[in-house]
Structure 1
């Protein structure tokens, strides 16, 4: 049974496709002696592609989405603070001034921002390993095989 979340399986698929394509190129050229080199190049290219896509999907894009959300949430809370209707939560005493309300709103946004960022980050995994790390491992194995192929 394979366990993945989001597009995490693409990490393995990219590595396998890279290996298959470069092995095909190597056999088409007819260099059976350098099959390790071609396999290494395929793993390196597939792993690098998976690592870059994984980094974008698991790190860069969540950071962008978090900042967009923070901007919207800050604007929303600013309107509530300016209207004098801000309250952190039901049952908690309302702020006594606009400055106190602004401070509480800023603190609320900071707390929500951290929670939002954690929930959006590393959503694309396979066996709970983020896609960028699967690609990095594939690329490292590819580098080792390239070196072995050049030496041997």
Structure 2
């Protein structure tokens, strides 16, 4: 069975659809729709490229900034280590100076103590000599007073005169 196919002005439905599509394409070309589509796509592509370039520039700037801060951190760590080492050297120098000063003070005080002891010994010896001289004078006075009488004095005087 064969069914008759509708037609208008001698065109079948497939022909009308083909004519409509051709008309749409012709109007689209006449209104420059492909150019607008290509321009829109080109514009989108250029916008995307611009954003990519900006992203690359931002990334490069971020990398440079990261490197700069990494360098600063490394320098800060080096400076901190140098300051710590310097502080250790200063502390060692202070300790060494304190030890030297302490040794010097101890030596000076020992010398002062020895000088005081020597002075005390000299004073004691001098005092002892003075007391011994006083005791000898008192003893001599007592002996002279006890042994020398007037007769002994007369004999001494006669002896002294005789020797002259």
Q: TM-score, normalised by structure 2?
A: 0.28
* Greater relative contact order structure (CA < 8 Å, 6+ sep): 1
Larger radius of gyration: 2
Q: Which has the higher helix share?
A: 2
Q: TM-score, normalised by structure 1?
A: 0.30
